[in-house]
Structure 1
Amino acid sequence: MSTTARQWNFFTIGPLCMTAYGIIRLTDPTHGPGLAWSLGHLALLAAVLALVPVIWQLRRWAAAGRGPAARLLAGAATTAGLLGAAAATAQTVIDLVVGFLCADREAMNVMFDGVRSHPGVTAAVYSVGPLLFYVGLVLLTAQLAVLRRISAWRPLVVVAGIAVTAMSLDLLPLGGLLLLLALAPLGRQRRLAAAGAARSRPHG
């Protein structure tokens, strides 16, 4: 499989893994250690890692053939998105380790309290940090919509997917499907691929 084909697949794999995490989470009412906790968080980790190249590709499309201001905005959005992905990855790994080490939810809560007691951890890993990923994703899709490189409804669907997830984690499957609707078809849009090619073409 070519590198380009893998990039297109990430637009589908990321949202699907997020949807899978949401579905698995619904099967675990106690949200305690066990198979559902581990499988769900592995799916979430896969979702975050798959969406990293999506962020990077969106940046390439948003900056292709544009001036310094557009490139600066795309770069800032990408930085936010990648920092958010790093924070979400850290949170997911912590959750996996805690779930592996603890025998029940009560023990998990004690260990989580210990992790969050360190200065800056709550903001960086559990609250502000992961939100940066969504900020970057919204900004990049909005920039592409303004440039008319994607349909205007796509960033709105991205926002809707984020919003329903923020309302309740039980709505994660719906949020993942909305992201799938917004992102999965982008790899098949030739004008985006052409824009990326134009950016990488050497100038004479």
Structure 2
Amino acid sequence: MKRAELYVLAGPVGVAAYGLIRLWAKSDGVYGPGFDWQAAHLVALAGMVCFVPGVLALSRLLPRSPWRTGVVILTMVGLAATVVQFGADIVQGLLAVDRAEMSALGADFKDIPGVELAVYDVVPQFFFLGLVVLAGMLAAKRRLPWWSVPLLIVGIVLPVVTLNLLPVAGLAMLVALAPALPALRQQGERAEPPLAVR
């Protein structure tokens, strides 16, 4: 399996793993700060980072155009905000001695002008919007089946209902994007330089 294919799979797997660790951590009624909080958020952060090369690889299945460039930029801006959000959660978990102090640190961070909109409420949604549009463009070019788009939307909406559905959301995203793997593999094979003939 090529590196591009792994990144496309690793992003959704990170979302699902984050959800599973979170559910396990909450089973004792205490979630954060501590090892369980850090483990969940580090896995989520790794998943978001893997989405960066994953999205770039998927975008290369489309012909170059201003639309493709715009969607990639939109998605990357959203991903950057999401990475900052998880990074802030990790730092707050390291600095706080209990849940109350962690919440206070989070509130202080959100009080910085522009942070709540840029890191929490608005800009991170660009990632999900861009991913859905990218999937739609891939479906239009038959690089993804038509059902990938609604399934991806389901995966994005489920955590809005409850974060306890994060494992299902990650699985839905994985199934939605996995049909692009053969095209990514073919693209990788075409990109490999021919062996030198001696």
Q: TM-score, normalised by structure 1?
A: 0.86
> Which structure 1 residue ranges, 4+ long, deviate > 3 Å from structure 2?
192-198
Residue pair 1:18, 1:176 contacting (<8 A) in 2 also: yes
The correspondence for 1:9, drawn from 3, 6, 22, is 6
Whichever residue aligns with residue 84 of structure 1, its letter is G
Give the structure 1 partner of residue 42 of structure 2: 42
In 2, Cα distance between equivalents of 1:31 and 1:63: 45
Of all paired residues, the percent bearing the same amino acid is 34
Q: How far off its partner does 1:197 sit?
A: 5.2
The correspondence for 1:93, drawn from 84, 87, 98, is 87
The correspondence for 2:147, drawn from 148, 153, 156, is 153
Q: How far off its partner does 1:60 sit?
A: 1.4
Aligned residue for 2:142, secondary structure, equals coil
Let me know the Cα RMSD of the aligned residues: 2.0
Aligned residue for 2:75, secondary structure, equals helix
The correspondence for 1:141, drawn from 135, 138, 155, is 135
Q: How far off its partner does 1:147 sit?
A: 1.9
Whichever residue aligns with residue 16 of structure 1, its letter is V
Structure 1 unaligned spans of 5+: 65-70, 199-204
> What are the Cα deviations for residues 142-194 of structure 1, in whole angstroms up to 9, with x where unaligned?
0111122221111111111001122111110000000111123422236x844
In 2, Cα distance between equivalents of 1:176 and 1:196: 28
Aligned residue for 1:62, secondary structure, equals coil
Give the structure 1 partner of residue 195 of structure 2: none
Residue pair 1:61, 1:196 contacting (<8 A) in 2 also: no
Structure 2 unaligned spans of 5+: 192-198
> What are the Cα deviations for residues 72-105 of structure 1, in whole angstroms up to 9, with x where unaligned?
2111111111001100110011000000110111
The correspondence for 1:162, drawn from 117, 135, 156, is 156
Relative to structure 2, which stretch is displaced further, 10-19 or 96-105?
10-19
Aligned length: 188
In 2, Cα distance between equivalents of 1:193 and 1:166: 36
Residue pair 1:41, 1:92 contacting (<8 A) in 2 also: yes
Q: TM-score, normalised by structure 2?
A: 0.88
Residue pair 1:60, 1:196 contacting (<8 A) in 2 also: no
Aligned residue for 1:159, secondary structure, equals helix
1:51 corresponds to 2:45: no
Whichever residue aligns with residue 103 of structure 1, its letter is V
Residue pair 1:15, 1:179 contacting (<8 A) in 2 also: yes
In 1, Cα distance between equivalents of 2:117 and 2:59: 26
Choose between structure 1 and 2: higher helix proportion: 1
Give the structure 1 partner of residue 78 of structure 2: 84
